[in-house]
Amino acid sequence: MDQDEALTTVDNIVTQFNTYEDFLDSQITTLDLYYLEDEGLARQLVELGYRGTGEVVKREDFEARKAAIEIARLAERTQKKTLTSAGKDLHDNFLKALAVREEDNRSGKVSSVIFIRDKNSHGQEVSGYIDYAHRLKTEDFEVYFSGKKRLLPRPTDMSFYNWDSHIAIWNSTPNYQVIADNPEGLLFKYKRDRKILNVDPKAQPGDNSTRSPILTELYTQVVIFDHVSRRKT
């Protein structure tokens, strides 16, 4: 039996029996118990390969595969649970762009900053920069991906500006430090690798960062900045 076949055999056994003892018991015949008169001894003989009606599987192999299968199952369930964009029929480019970036922002592989400019529910023009990864951790994006609500900048985001009232607010987040006193414009420092993200459209966004304007029918203007951290964790 080659390695793949052996692994398949173990997987079949692991999924069939809850515990290693259950597997051993399945290999013990009534005749074995009659002659041995000891269930524990019968199990030991099956484990050693001296008794049994099927394949010999070591305890450590059984338990290792059992654990691996359970970890994979939980990981798949967690991913399906946390990716709120999964299974959604998305038509607008902005929502598609958020969906593409959701998993990497949740895992920390990528940190995206979203610039949005549009009118709020009061008809006032607002704009601001949103720490996507932070927002994903602090609120349920189901309402956005399902189209029940529109994602808009808030006074609690990295930056918020109301063009009617001229109110400007800046806030650092767990991921970014806001540098608001820069004479050339707003800057964000990514805390993990201390790289600067420059959101000035006339400048380069910075090391390991990209700037992507999004053509969308939902907003006046959307730009997404993606930063990949190179710091080893």
112 and 168 belong to one structural domain? yes
Q: Helix, strand, or coil here: 159?
A: strand
Per-residue pLDDT at 170 = 95
Q: Helix, strand, or coil here: 226?
A: strand
Chain-centre distance of CA 168, in angstroms?
32
21 and 70 belong to one structural domain? yes
Per-residue pLDDT at 73 = 73
135 and 205 belong to one structural domain? yes
218 and 105 belong to one structural domain? yes
Per-residue pLDDT at 47 = 57
202 and 107 belong to one structural domain? yes
**Cα–Cα distance, 56 to 33 (Å, whole number):** 19
Residues spanned by the domain of 42: 3-78
114 and 155 belong to one structural domain? yes
Domain final position from 55, 78, 101: 78
**Residue appearing with tokens 């922002």:** 105
Nearest in space to 200 (alpha carbons), one of 216, 188, 217, 218: 188
Nearest in space to 102 (alpha carbons), one of 76, 71, 141: 141
Per-residue pLDDT at 28 = 56
pTM attached to this predicted model: 0.66
Domain final position from 78, 111, 138: 78
**Cα–Cα distance, 137 to 101 (Å, whole number):** 14
Per-residue pLDDT at 67 = 82
**Cα–Cα distance, 137 to 116 (Å, whole number):** 19
Residue 132 in any domain: the answer is yes
Residue 155 in any domain: the answer is yes
70 and 136 belong to one structural domain? no
Per-residue pLDDT at 100 = 96
Per-residue pLDDT at 233 = 43
Residue 141, φ and ψ in degrees, nearest 5:
-85, 5
Amino acid identity at 125? E
Domain count, the chain: 2
Residue 197 in any domain: the answer is yes
Per-residue pLDDT of the chain (233 residues; tens, 9 = 90+): 445 555 566 566 666 777 767 665 656 555 555 455 556 655 565 555 555 556 666 677 777 777 877 777 776 665 555 689 988 999 999 999 999 999 999 999 999 999 999 999 999 999 999 999 999 999 999 999 999 999 999 999 999 999 999 999 999 999 999 999 888 889 999 999 999 999 999 999 999 999 999 999 999 999 999 999 875 54
112 and 193 belong to one structural domain? yes
Per-residue pLDDT at 184 = 81
Contacts of 183 (CB under 8 A, 6+ apart): none
Residue 88 in any domain: the answer is no
Per-residue pLDDT at 155 = 96
Q: Helix, strand, or coil here: 211?
A: strand
